[in-house]
A and B are shown apart, each in its own frame.
Chain A
């Protein structure tokens, strides 16, 4: 695929802001998406093991429903967090994303419906397990399988989108056009590496879980240390596994000695060390976030290089500045998003730490943040309507 075609596939409207900003946002938000994908898959998978132990083992009896719940909430969050990179990738790599989506049109369609079915079955699993110890094993397993399959489809879109040289062969093998949308590609090392990360992620999650609950009196010390040591085991074994697949993947694509790849390896070693010692899992989590960002950046680097070799650079994308909506985004993101999410998370933290009912009306911060959030939202609406009416009057009068 030569540059003239790739450049023609860009949107004639240009990009509404400097491409590097979208690139940075893409790297950042994909890392967030990935973090919850991994937490979801990890906790769901581990919960399935838990359903087999739940009846006889008192620790698993407590842990299993918590894992199921974690998986359930994480799927919702990963979906929402996936929207952001979906947006940003289409702004700067629209040729790639749209070709991948049309070539795999059938899979795109299947992705959505399997996700609906898989996630609905997950609720079924949740309710079945709630009503009887060890219940819902089979449903949970099927649901887990479906959601893993969704991840494989995601991987197909990502991989197909960075194979521009093969697009023509996928669309019209031997000159015969195929509009069926059944294109499917897998890069097995990359996929295994991505999915393998769910083991250390759930491991570190368990370490955090144990640490968080250790201040609550209604959880026994025994249970806490059981959860914590299980977490340590999982993260150590998982990290070794991920590290091995990572190195293989890097060798296969010739990136092993790239600084970003080396930085990732260092990051993983640090993680291994920190999680093995498990002195403060919150710090481990901080490092995990950095490693996630490195991996996200590496994915972007691979794509950037492939496209660069073909003569497509996002930095040359024509810019058509669009300031007012950018200001809306920034202010909403920083002010409403910042305050609102702080409100919810502060509340969640305090509820989690409290035995019995948490009285938020007596808590200065929860109270204040709540009032601020409402006021900001109301003000937001007022500005929205004011802005709209100004433009409408200007344009129709």
Chain B
């Protein structure tokens, strides 16, 4: 082969393009899980209102549930394509692999989305315009459709971590890729989190109606406390299980920051258990400000580190354990007729096989070595490390501080030999190593 499938590189200065994808991802996780949680909460309230003939619940469902439902749904539906778009810019080969394996799964999810988007407006605007029984049915279908979207995406994001078994590589079948050993633990981990989120947002609503209806507020606050506690337990339980279904390279990265992560999770578990206990035992203490702040806490201290961790644990891969984060196909997948690109890169060098390297940089000379080195470093490393001296995302500056050229060449050779489980086994011709090292030294980290 003359060329391999590499695209122009997009590099977001200081942070790297993977980082901005993480930001979008974090917002999306909050919005989407809240949205499914809100759908379930809504079904629960509608069920209660209908079965127990609690007409007092409807006005509150309308007043607060609505905004929540629509807002979280809308945010979820924009940030969903949002992750996809930013992931495309950051990691085109990775996205391409997912699309070409799972296009029909995504298309199926799309059917659910279409149902949801019409459903959400029907749910909200037909309240009071249709009879309560029909409305109840509608809320059930909406909640089911919401869970359906989770069922469809979960196998894809689990596959990003790894296919779970070797079957996929041999068959190339989407079913083998989708249903790996961590798909179901992952799914219930998220269902738990959705249930918890439905309680957490329910607390905002329940406490907000305190002035208008004290007893209803207290009743709902207690209920939400129980729901959130239950969801939190499910989350923790399946988190444990999920961690046990991850590949070795994930644990290699996890071990680097293990103590810190575990401490963070323990603190969060304690803080939120206390919070939910207060809701159950002393519902009057919960107010909308506190309840909203707690959502912020989940976002900043729970989801953001969680997303970063999940991204790290996938290293060195971005999808299916056959594509590296730096967009290189790293193994054969006979089931799909895919061939590893590593041998040809080792033989010809990245500059020769990447179709977007301009002519003047194809061959390294004394006059272009630094420039070629910069491009090579960006292609080979920038998806995982920011390059600037004040870089923020796993910066090379901190990892190569004071290392001289020979030292860097040593590290690169070690990488090429596969010495780092969390980094690509990227073997390049010596002149390319040399150019990379020359560029990195010139940065004077």
Q: Which residues of A contact B (CB under 8 A)?
A: 4-5, 8-17, 22, 25, 73, 76-77, 79-84, 86-88, 90-91, 94, 97-99, 101-106, 108-109, 111-112, 115-116, 119, 123, 167-168, 171-172, 175-177, 179-181, 318, 320, 322, 324-326, 328-329, 332-333, 336-337, 340-341, 343-345, 347-348, 351, 354, 357-361, 366-367, 370-371, 373-374, 377-378, 380-381, 384, 387-388, 391-392, 394-396
Contact = CB atoms under 8 A, between A and B. Distances in A.
A14 B181 contact: no
B360 A175 contact: yes
Given A9-B7, A325-B104, A340-B115, A360 B151 contact: no
A90 B360 CA distance: 31
Contacts of B71: 123
A98 B103 contact: no
Contacts of B178: 325, 388, 391
A274 to B, nearest CB: 27
B175 A387 contact: yes
B140 A374 contact: yes
B408 to A, nearest CB: 21
Interface stretch (B8-16, B203-211, B214-222, B434-442): B8-16
Contacts of B75: 116
B115 A341 contact: yes
B304 interface: no
A109 B89 contact: yes
A332 B108 contact: yes
Q: Which 7 A-B pairs have the closest CB atoms?
A: A105-B10, A360-B134, A105-B89, A98-B92, A325-B104, A112-B82, A8-B3
B129 A358 contact: yes
Interface stretch (B94-102, B192-200, B248-256): B94-102
Contacts of A322: 101, 104, 172-174
Interface in B344-369: 355-361
B183 A388 contact: yes
A370 B141 contact: yes
- Chain A contact residues, majority secondary structure: helix
B130 A82 contact: no
B137 A91 contact: no
B8 A99 contact: yes
A104 B337 CA distance: 31
B411 interface: no
Interface of B: 1-5, 7-13, 17, 20, 24, 71, 74-75, 77-82, 84-86, 88-90, 92-93, 95-97, 99-108, 110-122, 126, 128-131, 133-134, 137-138, 140-141, 144-145, 147-148, 151, 155, 164-165, 167, 172-176, 178-179, 181, 183-184, 329, 333, 336-339, 355-361, 375, 378
B219 to A, nearest CB: 27
Given A341-B114, A347-B122, A15 B137 contact: no
Contacts of A88: 103
A76 B89 contact: no
Nearest to B378: A179
A173 to B, nearest CB: 9
A79 B81 CA distance: 8
A367 B131 CA distance: 11
Contacts of B329: 12
A13 B320 CA distance: 12
Contacts of A351: 126, 129-130
A329 B152 CA distance: 11
Contacts of B336: 12-14, 320
Contact of B358 (A105, A177, A332, A337): A177
Most buried by A among B93, B337, B355: B355
B131 A361 contact: yes
A112 B85 contact: yes
A377 B145 contact: yes
A329 B104 contact: yes
A152 to B, nearest CB: 16
